[in-house]
């Protein structure tokens, strides 16, 4: 599998505005933010997307969402509300083939997302 831009960020091959890191994941600000807060939470393990997740990823997936909730608190958007989104595959709008949770907030979200 070709190295993705997110793998390069994990190994510090390219810069990113990193806001959180632990042994399992990394979180950094999206380069093209769609809301005042737009953070991507990614596993350090290479996982193509939610469509490639298997039972052994259950804890990791839960961890990514809990980190998102913690970051929402940290960003001051938890009380007002926020959105977590995972785009999976081409029709899901996924453009980077490394699983990532979008944390978006700081403005009113709309539905359907388009």
CA quadruple 72, 83, 107, 43: dihedral sign: positive
CB of 27 to ligand AMP, least distance (A): 11
| Residue 103 burial class via C-beta count within 10 angstroms: exposed 0-12, middle 13-18, buried 19 and up | buried
93 binding ligand AMP? (CB under 6 A)? yes
Nearest CA among 57, 59, 61, 55 for reference residue 42: 61
The answer to whether 100 is a known catalytic residue is yes
What the block records as the tokens of 108 is 């009113």
Which residues in 35-74 contact ligand AMP (CB under 6 A)? 40
CB closer to ligand AMP out of 14 and 69: 14
CB closer to ligand AMP out of 7 and 87: 87
Which residues in 7-36 contact ligand AMP (CB under 6 A)? 16, 28, 30-32
Straight-line distance from the first to the last Cα atom of the chain, in angstroms, rounded to the nearest whole number: 30
Q: Which of 39, 64, 77, 87 binds ligand AMP (CB under 6 A)?
A: 87
Interface contacts to ligand AMP, rule CB under 6 A: 5, 16, 28, 30-32, 40, 87, 93-96
């Amino acid at each position: 599998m070709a190295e993705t831009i997110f793998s390069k960020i994990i190994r510090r091959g390219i810069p990113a505005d990193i806001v959180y890191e632990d042994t399992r994941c990394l979180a950094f600000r999206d380069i093209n933010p769609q809301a005042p807060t737009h953070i991507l939470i990614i596993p350090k393990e290479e996982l193509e997307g939610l469509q490639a997740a298997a039972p052994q990823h259950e804890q990791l997936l839960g961890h990514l969402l809990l980190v998102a909730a913690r970051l929402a608190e940290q960003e001051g958007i938890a009380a007002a509300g926020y959105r977590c989104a995972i785009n999976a595959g081409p029709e899901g709008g996924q453009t980077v083939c490394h699983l990532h949770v979008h944390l978006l907030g700081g403005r009113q979200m709309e539905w359907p997302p388009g």
